[in-house]
Amino acid sequence: MVGHERPLRVLRRSLGSGRVPHAYLFWGPDGVGKTRVAREVARALLCGEAGALARGEGCGACRSCRRLDSSNHPDLHVLVPRGARVGVEEVRALQESLSFRPFEGGRRVAIISDAFRLTREASNALLKTLEEPPADTHLVLTAHHRDQLLPTVVSRCQCVRFDPLPDGAVERILVSEGVEPHHAQALARVCGGRPGRVLGREPGELMEWIRQAEELADRWDGLTAGERLRLGAEWARAQDLRDRLETLQWVVGRRIRRLDEAVPAWLDRQAGLARVLEWMDRNVNTQLALDALFLGLAGQDWEDRWLGS
């Protein structure tokens, strides 16, 4: 594993202690590698080799590790949100599969990615499993922030914080995943310490987003109201909107660092981008949020005036 030395140290200690918690909460920004580390924890817990837990990592060679690597382990349950919200039925389905004995007779692990997408009802259902977990069952929840989850859920988890990785570590991960070195260096700088933003995508597509974001930043001051609204409509339809906004956020942040003095318009854009990204987790009307962003209506009272929340 490249990077995440501190969380890995915490986890190795926790796994090696002989008293593995029934639930972990990995929290930190999107794409930083929480799910990647969750799978490593699953590997250590499910590994058939005796010393795996004490070492805090799977052997990589036994039947269990090999099945995990091919995403084909009957005792690893992964709940990935299909939509913006995860309903109570999805949690119940997971609970039902956890009600049987583990197939391999050992432990069992369930990973719930982006647990902040659980509805309140779904969270309350999950709480039952956290309060009385089935024997030899371990859950790993991931979220951007701890405070996105019910306090009663958080209090039953061992919380592990994940920070963005240094650019050098991101670059090494990207190269190890097959990204060409000359692209890896440029992309490591733009992904804000979160290799997951790049992996699984076409590097050329990301380079194109950077180019478009730079072009928008150049023209932003001089855009007419009509052009701003067209931009809002265009971006609202874009696939991978979050990634495009985050790319723009990086470009805007870099402009601000290069300015000799603070320019309110740029600071508003930076604040506006952060808010739009936050709203996207909360299912706010994207079109409205983008219009406000591009029209430069990002005053302090922006949220109250435009979204009534």
Q: Which residues bind Zn ion (CB under 5 A)?
A: 47, 49, 58-59, 62, 65
60 CB-side CA count, 13 A: 5
Please state the closest distance from residue 69 (CB atom) to Zn ion, in A.
10
Minimum distance between the CB of residue 97 and Zn ion, rounded to whole angstroms? Answer: 22
- Nearer residue to Zn ion within complex by CB, 67 or 161: 67
Smallest separation (angstroms) from Zn ion to the CB of 6 = 25
Q: Which is nearer to Zn ion, 1 or 233 (CB)?
A: 1
Please identify, using beta-carbon distances, which residue of 62 and 210 lies nearer to Zn ion: 62
| CB of 186 closer than 8 Å to CB of 211 | no
Q: Based on CB atoms, which residue is closest to Zn ion, 75 or 246?
A: 75
- The token pair that represents 21 in the structure block: 């918690």
State the nearest-atom distance from the C-beta of 59 to Zn ion, in Å: 4
CB of 57 to Zn ion, least distance (A): 9
User: By C-beta, is 104 or 240 nearer to Zn ion?
Assistant: 104
Output 59 or 241, the one with its CB closest to Zn ion.
59
To Zn ion, the closest distance from the beta carbon of 49 in angstroms equals 5
CA dihedral 272, 276, 279, 280 (to 10 degrees): -170
